[in-house]
Structure 1
Amino acid sequence: MSLHPPDLSPQNMADGQRAREEQELSMAPPALEVDGISLAFRERRSSLPVLQDVALTVKRGEFVSLIGPSGSGKSTLFHIIGGLLKPQRGRIRMHGQDVTGERGHISYMPQQPALFPWRTTLDNVLLGQENAPRNHTAAHSQYASERERREEALQWLEQVGLGPFAKAYPHTLSGGMQQRVAFLRALLSPQELMLLDEPFSALDALTRADMQQWLLRMWEKNRRSVLFITHSIEEALLLSDRIYVLSARPATVMHVVDVPFPRPRREEITLDSRFSEWKRTMTDWMRQEKYKLDGGMEEHAESVRKNPTDNGADQYE
C-alpha cells in the first residue's frame, strides 16, 4: 500500500477530470449511427443509385469528416440524416434511438451562411434556438428565457470577435464574419449533433485557412459531435478525428482513416512528412474514384438519351 499523499495539483486534477469525461463519452451511445443506408433516384425511365449500404459512426464529442468525389451523394446523405429524405434501406440512430425520417435532431451549417438580411447578427445567431423543436428546448434549461438566450449569444459573439457587430446586418459583414455567425447559430442550437456541409468552400484561400484555425479552436473548447463534408483532403486531415472516404456513385464507404495526429492541432501540422504522405495517399484514392464517376455520368447520359419520356419531372424512387 502506498503511503504517498495524492497529487492534488490543479494540473493533475484537470487531467483527472478530462480522463473521467473521456471515459463517460466512450461508454455513451454514439451521437450518430448511419446503418446500411441505400437510396436511388428515379430520373424519367431510368434509376440512378446514389448511396449503397453506407455505414458510419460519430461518437459523442468527435469530429468526423466525409469526403468523396463531387456528385457522390454526400449532401444527399446529410438530407437523410436530417430527415428530409427517407432511404430505401437502412436506419439512422442518434444516441441509440432510431430517428430515421425524423426532423429536428441536428443543427446544420450549409455551404452558404444563409443569414436573413432583415435580421441583425445577434438575431441571426438566435434563430437556431427559436426554431428548435420543443423537446430539445425543454431539455436545455439554459434556454429558459429570451433574456438568457440573448445574453449567452452576446457572450459568444464577444468571444469570436463579433461583439461590436451584434446589431449589424449581414450585408455589412465580410464572408468570414458571416460564416462565424452561421457557425454560432449552429453551435447554440440545442441539438448536440452538428452537420457542417462544406462551410468554407466559398471563401478565398487565406480566409479559409483562418476559418479552419478558428473552427479548430472553437471545437476544441466545446467538443460538440460534428459530421463535416469537405472536398479538401488537407482540411479533413487538419480538423478530424476520423475520415470516411466515399467511392464514386453509388457511394459506399471505401476507406476509413483514423487521423494519427494528436490534439490540440495547429496549422504547422500540415508541414509534417506523415501529413504529406496521408494527403498523397488520399489524393490517389479520390482521383481513381473521380475517373469512375466521370465514366458513369457518360453512361447514364447515354441511357437517358436512349429512353426518352413525356414526363420530365424527376421523382424519388
Structure 2
Amino acid sequence: MSYEKQNFVDGQTLTAAHLNHMEEGIAAAGGFTAGAKELLLTLFENAAYKTGDAQSALNALRAEWGGSAQDIPVQSVSLSAAILNLSEGESQTLTAMVLPANAANKLVWWSVSPAGLATVAGGTVTAVKAGICTVTATAGGKSASCTVNIAQAETAQLIYTLPAETELTSGFDTGLKLLEHASTESPQYTILVDAKAGDNFDASTWPAFLHCLTETGSTANLPGFNSTSSPLNNKTEFAYYNYGGVTLSDSIEHLKTRTRYVVQLDGKKYRGGSTYCPMTEWLTSNGTITDVPQTFLIGAAQSADGSKKQQFWPGTLYQCKVYKGLLSDNRIKAYINKGW
C-alpha cells in the first residue's frame, strides 16, 4: 500500500482514505476469514477517532463483507459491578451487558488503566499489585468502567487457633510466649478474640481479659500488655508497656454481648478495637520494650510472684486466633463485621 502509515493509537484520525486503502490491501492479499473481518469491523467501529467522513467507507466495507450499512448500533454497555476490592493475586470476573440485544457489533474489548496494576481477560480481573485502577469494557463505541481497589497480599502467618469453645472460669493459658524476645526481636502480632462475659460479670475485682505481662508490684512498671475491666468507668482498656489509650469495650452491657476484639502490636506501636469500639489509630509506647517470659493468658492475670492466676474474667471464649504479622485493614474490618 502506498499511503502514508498513520498511528491511530496515538490519536490520528481514521479517514475514509485509510479505510479504502485497507480494503484494497485486503483484496490484494486474498481476503480474510469471516472472524477476522468481524474483528476488524469492530475495531473500526470502536475507534475513538471515527469521523462522519469515515462512516460511509465503514458502511461500504461492512456491506462488501456481507453485512449491512443499516446494522443496529450499540446503545449502551454496563458492568456487573462498579467497584471491585481485591488483594494481590486474587481474581474476580466482571460481566458486560451490551444493549440492545440485537446490536450488530457486541464484541467486548477490555482494558486496564493505569497498566501494571491488574490484568483482564474475558472479563476476569486479576490483581497484580496494590493500588487503584480502572477496568473498562467497550463495545460498538460505548463503554462502561469499574474501579478496582487492590490491597497488598496478606503475609501474616497464623500461629495459634483455639482448639474448641471454652468456658472461662479460672482463665485460659494459650501457651504463647509472644514477648519472650521482645527486646531483640521486634514483636509483630495480630490477636483476634471472640468472647462474651458472663451474666454474673463483676468489674469490682478488676478482671483481666488479655494478659501477657511481668508483674513487678509497681503500677508504673508493667512490661508487656494487659487488658482489664475497670469498676471506675466500666470500660475495658488495653495497655502496652505502661501506655494505654485503647478501649476494647465501652460498657459492661457490651461486654456481656458476644463481641469480636482485635489487638495489633508492631514493635513499639499498638492499636485495638472491637465490634463496639472502632479501631484506634496506631499509638506508640514510650516505655522500654523488655523481654516478657510469661505466656499469653485470656481471662486471668499472673500474680506478682508468678505462682498463681488471679483477677478472673468469667465468660465464654468462642475463638482466639493469633497471627505473627499484621493482617490488613480489610481483613480486620471483615472480621469485626462478619467474623470468621
Q: Name the structure where helix makes up a greater proportion of residues.
A: 1
Q: Name the structure where strand makes up a greater proportion of residues.
A: 2
**TM-score normalised by the chain length of structure 1:** 0.24
**TM-score normalised by the chain length of structure 2:** 0.23
Select the structure with the greater relative contact order (CA < 8 A; seq sep ≥ 6).
Answer: 1
